[in-house]
Amino acid sequence: MVQRGEIRNREYATQIRDFTKLRYKNITPTDIDGFTEFGGKLMIFIEAKHNGAPLPFGQRLAFERLCDAVQRGGIHCFYFVVSHNCDGDVDYSETTVVEYRWMGQWRKPEGNPKLSECWFKAIKKYLEGDYTN
């Protein structure tokens, strides 16, 4: 039995996603590494980069627009950009948050918090005890 959040079909997870033929002018699709929606009250998006690589301009702009639109719609929204240096499986809870989108701004967290710390802090603050770990 697979635990919640665990990869169910490892062979599919390793497939390359080729968007080259889905192009309009200089626009192509991007992917989102993680997304969780909490009952219409909070949304958390995650993008992971290896060794702190920066977000490409188009991906950054898409994430800004997505997060800001959700926020304007009355739902609390975070977009966490995390860094890891793994070559194999990545435990996202242990990745380091390098920046995050909140209330129309990219912000840098104090220190080097793990994603799990920021994740549960957002849940605690914006769900007022509706969810438990």
Answer yes or no: is pLDDT of 128 > 90: no
| pLDDT tens per residue, range 88-105 | 889 999 999 999 999 999
CA distance 108 to 101: 9
CB neighbours of 78 closer than 8 A, spacing ≥ 6? 42, 43, 44, 45, 67, 100, 101, 102, 118, 122
| pLDDT tens per residue, range 55-65 | 999 999 999 99
For every residue of 63-124, which 3-state class applies, written as one string? HHHHHHHHHHCCCEEEEEEEEECCCCCCCHHHCEEEEEEECCEEECCCCCCEHHHHHHHHHH
Quick one: what percent of the chain has pLDDT higher than 70? 95
Q: Per-residue confidence at 1, pLDDT binned at 50, 70, 90?
A: low
Q: Per-residue confidence at 133, pLDDT binned at 50, 70, 90?
A: very low
